[in-house]
Amino acid sequence: MSSVGISLSGKNIEQIYSYQWDNFAQIVSPDLQFLNKDWYATWERKYLPQINPDSQIRYISLFDDKDNMHGTFPYVEFSKLGLKILSVAGLYYPFRSILFSSKCISDCAQAFVDTVHASHRNNIIRIGPTVEDDLVNKEINDAFQSLGWKCYQMERGRTNVLHLPDSVEEYKKLLSKKFTDNMRRARNKLVKLGDVEFVRYNNCSEEEWSTVIDQCASVEKRSWLATNEEAELRITENSDFWKHYLCSNDASKRVVVWMIKVDGNPIAYDFAIDSGDCRYGFSSHYDEAYKKYSAGIIVHNCMFEDAIESGVKTLDMGDSNAKYKARWGAKPGSRIVDILYLPPTIVGQLAYSGLKIKDSIRK
């Protein structure tokens, strides 16, 4: 918890100016600094129209008496069963979070909740998916409940986190001998297939990033996802988002892609986003035709060793395939939750009671 006694006022605004974003980006948690004007502007233009064509991002933002921004809640308004829901904006993963100055979290939480209570008393507030143990979430929860709002959580999984050592040599010692021997043999077989390249992409031109996204999408379409009707093609289905997002200098410096090519043909990739000393593993796949060469494992290893050499301390590997990720040394991390705050109105309390009854029936 952090509080420095700043007097904050909340404002409902439709946009945040670039200079406000640029200043604000320096005072939020480093692990969330990728959630900036480029991220939200691209999401609004290239993703939101697919799910709600008539909507736009609005903001509840917090300012001090010198008009410096200290917090923001980028949200989209939805209606469900006659109830208005203000849902935090952004892609499902990495997470949807409220952004507060890391210097005054408790002040921001109280000012935000006071603003919501005064101006959006008849709305449901949805935050997430987010990590449950985020300090911002704790402070907001306490402030909401002190004003009679009810909190309802839905669990979405658990992160898999790999804490990286200081050197590649130390990292290699953490892996089992059998695992490393199998990876070495697979790599030796792979390099005999032809002209094999291990390519790192970062801080590229717009044209090069566009090609990289297309190549990642082509691998994704040749992966196991292609035969799984429930699978999400994260790169393919959001290629416009990534191409436009990567037009910004900040995004181009944050995104890291490792790719394996055989005779110029991409067969595996690993796509990640850096923020602070954390690297978020967004998507990684390989061509099914190269399964016996462990192309997916090899490209993962390229990404992990690169992370260490780049000074990354934590790899957030997402919430799926925990058993596989444990082979790399990943441990269960934070619970991922969707959080609903229901107002202290008759409708809000009835909605909360309905959700609790639904839970009891499921059990």
Q: Is the peptide bond before 129 cis (omega within 30 degrees of 0)?
A: yes
The answer, yes or no, to whether residue 1 has pLDDT greater than 70, is no
Q: Is residue 51 part of a domain?
A: yes
Q: Do residues 176 and 95 both lie within one domain?
A: no
In a domain, 95, yes or no: yes
Is residue 344 in a domain?
yes
Is the pLDDT assigned to residue 2 strictly greater than 80?
no
Domain co-membership, 211 together with 72: no
Same domain, residue pair 194 and 230 = yes
Residue with tokens 């900036």: 36
Contact 99, 109 (CB under 8 A): no
pTM: 0.93
200 and 303 inside one domain: yes
In this structure, are 109 and 228 located in the same domain?
A: no
Alpha-helix residue ranges (DSSP H) falling in 164-255: 168-174, 177-190, 206-221, 239-245, 249-254
CB distance 344 to 202 below 8 Å: no
Q: Is 3 a domain residue?
A: no
Q: How far apart are CA 59 and CA 249, in angstroms?
A: 24
Is the distance from CB of 317 to CB of 160 less than 8 angstroms? Answer: yes
- At residue 81, does pLDDT exceed 80? no
**127 and 69 co-located in one domain:** yes
Alpha-carbon distance of 219 to 226, in angstroms, equals 10
How far is it, in rounded angstroms, from Cα 112 to Cα 118?
Answer: 10
Task: Give the three-class secondary structure for 258.
Answer: strand
- Tell me the percentage of the chain whose pLDDT exceeds 70: 98
Do 204 and 287 reside in the same domain of the chain? yes
**Angle of CA points 310, 314, 318, to nearest 5°:** 120
302/343 same-domain check: no
- Tell me, yes or no, whether 146 and 176 share the same domain: no
Residue ranges of E strands in the chain: 9-13, 58-63, 69-80, 83-88, 99-100, 124-131, 150-163, 196-201, 255-262, 265-275, 278-286, 314-316, 331-342
Q: Which domain holds residue 13?
A: 9-157+335-362
- 234/203 Cα distance (integer angstroms): 21
User: Residue 326 falls within a domain, yes or no?
Assistant: no
Amino acid at 49: P
Question: What confidence score (pLDDT) does residue 110 get?
Answer: 96
Q: What is the pLDDT of residues 298-311, one digit of tens each?
A: 999 999 999 999 99
Q: Report yes or no on 321 lying in a domain.
A: no
For strand 314-316 and strand 278-286, is the pairing parallel, antiparallel, or unpaired? parallel
DSSP 104: -
Q: Which two tokens stand for residue 360?
A: 């009891």
Q: How many Cβ atoms from other residues are within 10 Å of residue 334's Cβ?
A: 17
Q: Say how many Å lie between the first and final Cα of the chain, rounded.
A: 35
Beta bridge partners of 59: 13, 74
Integer Cα distance of 306 and 310 in angstroms: 6
The DSSP secondary-structure symbol of 302 reads: H
CATH number at residue 54: 3.40.630
Instruction: Please report, rounded to a whole number, the percentage of residues in the chain having pLDDT higher than 90.
Output: 84
Mean pLDDT of the chain: 93
Same domain, 176 and 150: no
- Which of 103, 102, 113 shows the shortest CA–CA distance to 140? 113
pLDDT class for 322, splitting at 50, 70, 90? confident
Tens of pLDDT, residue by residue over 325-338, are 998 999 999 999 99
Please tell me whether residue 280 adopts helix, strand or coil conformation.
strand
How many domains does the chain contain in total? 2
Considering the domain architecture, whether residues 18 and 40 belong to the same structural domain is answered as yes
Residue 356 lies in a domain: yes
Q: State whether 97 and 147 are in the same domain.
A: yes
Give yes or no for residue 363 having a pLDDT over 80: no
* CB neighbour class for 230 (10 Å; exposed up to 12, middle 13-18, buried from 19): exposed
What confidence tens digit (pLDDT) does each residue in 212-238 have?
A: 999 999 999 999 988 887 778 889 999
Average pLDDT over residues 108-132: 95
CATH of the domain at 289: 3.40.630.30
Asked if residue 42 is part of any domain, the answer here is yes
